[in-house]
Chain A
């Protein structure tokens, strides 16, 4: 029900709810029953003293009669009702429900929020435990090292006559393995500590890198002005705990610095003003590399844009997330992304509209994005050697009302199969937890 219900209706609703007769209420506040009837049917304005008096008899805040329930609360209740439509919530009475029972209404809204948070936590945890290569690799390494220690130690204990060279060698091996084991055990403890709190984000090197970039909003003013070197920034970054994260972040920042000098901020902003945010058009006009333009647009602080980069194996090596477009944390992404299509046709730029379906998408269709993707060779091109390609996809949100203005196709995509609701997708890799439960 739209918010058109008026004060009179709310008075009538409240009165009927309490079982008070119209004549009785009219009498209590000193007006005629017919006048109250006109008020209740919204044919007479009401305010001031009379409203206060009626509110007093009906035992309710006058503002609640005058303004209805808080509009945000009503909106959230409607969202909750739409999400689980099969429960048959009386959506035509949402406002009156919120007005009459604000406490219960807030409870519904709070529980819905809590359920969503729990769902996200479960998603993160299952993702970590089943798909995190960092965890699997660490566990495997610890077991391998334990095997080596056990085997070597028992040789030392059980072999009665052992040559001094062998003995020294096995001592060295055990010492070496003990150090590795300590590191592995620490990594596991750190990981499991974090796993018990799904909201803690910094664990694997990928997560450290992401936290590092997110904290700086993917923009580095000191690299733009060449005031600092990438090495300085990485050294001062508290988020980059592991050596692997630091070295990967350093590479990304070196690339950033190169890009910034190839296409400085002022020139980029000028190009956006003239050409819009189409990276291929900007590249064609400025002569800059398409990949550089995409990365530069993603680093532009005022532009709402996401960017993903994958290597030839399809592994995401860089991700700049964007609200409304879910990027899988560890598991592989949706093969329908233009990013992967670009990988199959190197050097051919793609511009598509995509719609991501899944949790959090709007009830009528998903979230709409303009996606630009291209695969370009990485590193130097050598004679008689196949180049290695890297694909990039820049994506920008499109408001839903622009849907009508676009005459091309809108390609439906997902985030990753496990949280994707499209059951009949030919690209599906594994069942969805949405259908099968956790």
Chain B
């Protein structure tokens, strides 16, 4: 079971907080803040789980997700979508694009931890 997470998020204080709780839980955390270069970062780091914000500078998280699902190497990569938009249409959109899990901001640390753990074991 892999223990590496790539957090793609542009809000520095969220990055710090999530990195902290995941590291404390024994995860190897790397972060990336730019939507446009996110795919390259995923290809390079090959994480076990990706936490993906939707509103990113340069590209939408959904676009990134769609690109991930389009190629065999990342087709089954567990992706947790993290977004400030929690309406059912956003949830539907995430599902349609192939999100493994969907979580709305503001989230609780325990929920994020649980979600990441669940994604790796499933």
With both chains docked as a complex, state the minimum distance between the C-beta of A176 and any C-beta of chain B, in angstroms: 7
Instruction: Given A150-B106, A151-B109, A159-B24, verify A144-B84 contact (CB < 8 Å).
Output: yes
How many angstroms between the C-alpha atoms of A144 and B24 in the bound complex?
Answer: 22
Collect the chain A residues with CB atoms within 8 Å of residue B112's CB.
151
Interfacial residues of chain A within 167-196, with CB under 8 A of chain B in the complex: 169-170, 173, 176-177
- Residue A154 CB within 8 A of the other chain: yes
Instruction: Pick the contact of B13: A139, A143, A152, A166 (CB < 8 A).
Output: A152
Residue of A whose beta carbon sits closest to that of B11: A144
- A143-B106 in contact (CB<8A): yes
Instruction: Given A143-B106, A158-B109, A159-B24, verify A148-B84 contact (CB < 8 Å).
Output: no
Interface size class of A (residues with CB under 8 A): 20 to 34
* Candidate in B84, B107, B112 with the most chain A CB atoms within 10 angstroms: B84
- Residue A140 CB within 8 A of the other chain: yes
**Contact string, B99-121, partner A, CB cutoff 8 A, digits 1/0?**
00000011111001000000000
Instruction: Given A151-B21, A166-B20, verify A144-B14 contact (CB < 8 Å).
Output: yes
* Candidate in A139, A143, A154, A169 with the most chain B CB atoms within 10 angstroms: A143
Collect the chain B residues with CB atoms within 8 Å of residue A177's CB.
13
How many angstroms between the C-alpha atoms of A145 and B13 in the bound complex?
Answer: 8
- Residue B18 CB within 8 A of the other chain: yes
How many angstroms between the C-alpha atoms of A59 and B51 in the bound complex?
Answer: 83
Collect the chain A residues with CB atoms within 8 Å of residue B13's CB.
145, 148, 152, 173, 176-177
Interfacial residues of chain A within 255-269, with CB under 8 A of chain B in the complex: none
Collect the chain A residues with CB atoms within 8 Å of residue B24's CB.
159
Collect the chain B residues with CB atoms within 8 Å of residue A149's CB.
106
With both chains docked as a complex, state the minimum distance between the C-beta of A333 and any C-beta of chain B, in angstroms: 24
- Residue B73 CB within 8 A of the other chain: no
* Candidate in B55, B105, B107 with the most chain A CB atoms within 10 angstroms: B105
- A143-B84 in contact (CB<8A): yes
How many angstroms between the C-alpha atoms of A48 and B16 in the bound complex?
Answer: 93
- Residue B39 CB within 8 A of the other chain: no
How many angstroms between the C-alpha atoms of A169 and B20 in the bound complex?
Answer: 11
Instruction: Given A144-B11, A159-B24, verify A150-B108 contact (CB < 8 Å).
Output: yes
Residue of B whose beta carbon sits closest to that of A169: B16
- Residue A155 CB within 8 A of the other chain: yes
Instruction: Pick the contact of B17: A139, A143, A152 (CB < 8 A).
Output: A152
- A151-B18 in contact (CB<8A): yes
Collect the chain B residues with CB atoms within 8 Å of residue A143's CB.
84, 105-106
**A interface residue numbers (CB < 8 A to B):** 139-140, 143-152, 154-155, 158-159, 166, 169-170, 173, 176-177
Nearest 7 A/B pairs, CB to CB: A148-B13, A151-B17, A143-B84, A147-B105, A147-B106, A173-B13, A150-B106
